[in-house]
Structure 1
């Protein structure tokens, strides 16, 4: 693969879809102006995230979009030659899923439904049941949403399916139960960065981590969007503010270099990894 510019976005999105689409259009334009080939937008960029993780209000949920919703068609049109990953609430009959879609001007390239649901998300969403990579013009990609990246098996499954890049789309807040005076001291802030770097290093892949900023209900979102190389090294980041973390790299060459001596996927011993819990 040639050198690719990859961007992880940090921005705030709410319930107003027209506002969200206008913001996405601006972010895509900004990314296009610097030659970005892959843009990862946050979870729930279309319609916003839940306002309360402990007691979600059924009357104030994000708008649920069908897989072929005109809003998704607008995303396809806006993406053009760029590969764009974006999160939204997906409607499937009466069921809702926290979902992500990856598109370019040719159409839908891949989809993911969040598998691991934390806290009261289980009262709003149904869980997805699979992790699968897919081919794109910028390489083979897999997607994770929020809490999915807490579980090493999630990214590992995508890496075993050939993913060179894992896009992790988040609406990840600061700690709700143990708030710190500064975001830099927050437990969830440390974990958010730790998971990004660990998932990249243990699988020797590129992780593109986007996140929301601002506040929704009683939650403060962390930002901290970043691009992480296959050695677990942060190549670009936004810190807590809105913006784009942009890194330029030859993905295939970086992965090959990381795996030149130690190739984690080849050196696994899966027969020793049985889950022995009753």
Structure 2
């Protein structure tokens, strides 16, 4: 840990189907982060192999991401590149016996010593369920830079997801996305698009309501029929953006004394401490209908 805290980086970057090209881009981003003293680097959702070409298909699209073994050579290669840095990245995980033949939209956290933690995307927007099986849990895990949790893209639209990680002891949450601009009535300036604004609002709200450090990576540029909004950022426990990339590609970097800022945020107004779960009650059977 560097003097004064942990240095985090979140990438806004595009990735493609060609894994060799993706690893060239990953290696360059890791080298750039290392030159800035970064200890945790968040790469976007689907950094290894690219995301879906569309969210409006029926699962018959032949332009699909390569399906990777969660313990296979690509994950080991990512770990070797990470070295002493914690690196998180998204990929398409090969089906298992429980997935009904569909792969998972997954993320992994690694160092040179191997895998630290995994996450399978739970919440699926639009027609993503046609291409991926859903995950079913949220769990924090320990790393050299503290206890963290991971989310993927649409997971962050559900307050319960980040809250589950905070309750499980995560003081930092990494959210990796391939979040696009709106498909209809897109704003002429990408940063002003309504989906770009929602992306930013979710990031700041999840950090503030859980009083945690939030590290948000996102794909940038275009892929298939999508224009990705970038906007990678580091957010403090008060919901303030410490550094961001804007709508273009780049690397957001900030150094945070995580324990100090989380303790300070929770000292008087402790959102986790002051919860009243017994007052919330069970979810009504008709909710969402």
Sort the TM-score into its range (normalised by shorter chain): over 0.9
State how 1:192-271 maps to structure 2 within 5 Å: 192-271=199-278
Distance in 1, matches of 2:60 and 2:42, equals 28
Extract unaligned runs of 5+ from structure 1.
none
Extract unaligned runs of 5+ from structure 2.
none
State yes or no: 1:178 paired with 2:185.
yes
Report the TM-score, using the length of structure 1 for normalisation.
0.98
| SS across alignment from 1:103 | strand
1:57, CA displacement in angstroms? 4.3
Which position in structure 2 is the counterpart of 1:165? 172
Which position in structure 2 is the counterpart of 1:119? 126
| SS across alignment from 1:231 | coil
Distance in 1, matches of 2:188 and 2:144, equals 43
1:102, CA displacement in angstroms? 0.2
1:131, CA displacement in angstroms? 0.1
Match of 2:69 among 66, 70, 74: 66
Match of 1:276 among 278, 281, 284: 284
1:58, CA displacement in angstroms? 3.0
Distance in 2, matches of 1:185 and 1:62, equals 30
1:240, CA displacement in angstroms? 1.0
State yes or no: 1:84 paired with 2:79.
no
| SS across alignment from 1:46 | coil
1:217, CA displacement in angstroms? 1.3
Q: What per-residue deviation string (whole Å, max 9, x for no partner) do you get for residues 104-152 of structure 1?
A: 0110000000000011101000000000000000000100001000000
Report the TM-score, using the length of structure 2 for normalisation.
0.94
Runs of 4+ in 1 over 2 A off after TM superposition: 92-95
Which position in structure 1 is the counterpart of 2:24? 22
Mean Cα displacement is larger for which, 85-94 or 96-105? 85-94
Q: What per-residue deviation string (whole Å, max 9, x for no partner) do you get for residues 216-268 of structure 1?
A: 11110000000000000000000011111000110010101111111000100
